[in-house]
Amino acid sequence: MLNEPASAPEEGSASGSPLDGLRARVRALGFEGVGDASGLPALRVGRDASLQALERLRDDPGLAMHRLVDLTIVDAGSGADGASGGLEVVYALHSPAQGFRMRVHVTLDEADPEVDSVAALWPAADWLEREAFDLFGVRFRGHPDLRRILQAPDAEGAPLRKHGVPGSATAERDPDDVDAGEGA
């Protein structure tokens, strides 16, 4: 199940912080460890095992990540060298009992972005996943009611994707030109 959780984005070095307990517990669960990019404890897990990994973070008594604070997508677009930075879903979790906060990153396939829904783990994910679907075109497998939420039902494309969704009306639009198509 958790056979290939890739290593965290950046191995942290803040020793003696209150996060040490979090780090130790996460390692004990078989994850590679908690990275500390810009002071944010973060963990990267493989896409195919994301649901099981998140379930363990929620149910482990030492972590008890009972609150899903936020769920969003980051589209890193293409960097200066033209290479794609990738598309990922970012879960922000909070353990009220332990006082921990952390983020979990799951890299998606840009051409076919799909990941398991966590609405069964945290009901709060329902609308958050609908928003991600609406604005980024990411599909959540097993979501009870995946449809647009902020945009009109007949809206096209995924406005927050840097290069649009392949095959959609926004695919050819200049991503930086937000005023394109608007009246004067």
Q: Which residues bind other proteins (CB under 8 A)?
A: 18, 37-40, 42, 66-70, 72, 74-77, 79-80, 85, 90, 92, 96, 99, 122-124, 126-128, 131, 135, 149-152, 159-160, 176, 178
| Nearest distance from C-beta of residue 54 to other proteins, angstroms | 15
Q: Is 26 strand, coil or helix?
A: helix
Q: How far is the CB of 48 from other proteins (least distance, A)?
A: 24
Residue 152's alpha-carbon distances to 12, 79, 156, in angstroms, are: 43, 31, 9
Q: Cβ closer to other proteins: 3 or 174? A: 174
- Output 79 or 167, the one with its CB closest to other proteins: 79
Measured in whole angstroms, the distance separating CA 181 from the mean position of its chain's CA atoms is 30
| Shortest spacing between CB 10 and other proteins, in angstroms | 9
The secondary element (H helix, E strand) that includes residue 70 is strand 67-75
Q: How far is the CB of 26 from other proteins (least distance, A)?
A: 18
Nearer residue to other proteins within complex by CB, 2 or 90: 90
Distance, CA of 89 to CA of 132 (rounded, Å) = 9
**How far is Cα of residue 83 from the mean position of the Cα atoms in its chain?**
20
Return the closest-CA partner of residue 77 out of 85, 89, 65.
85
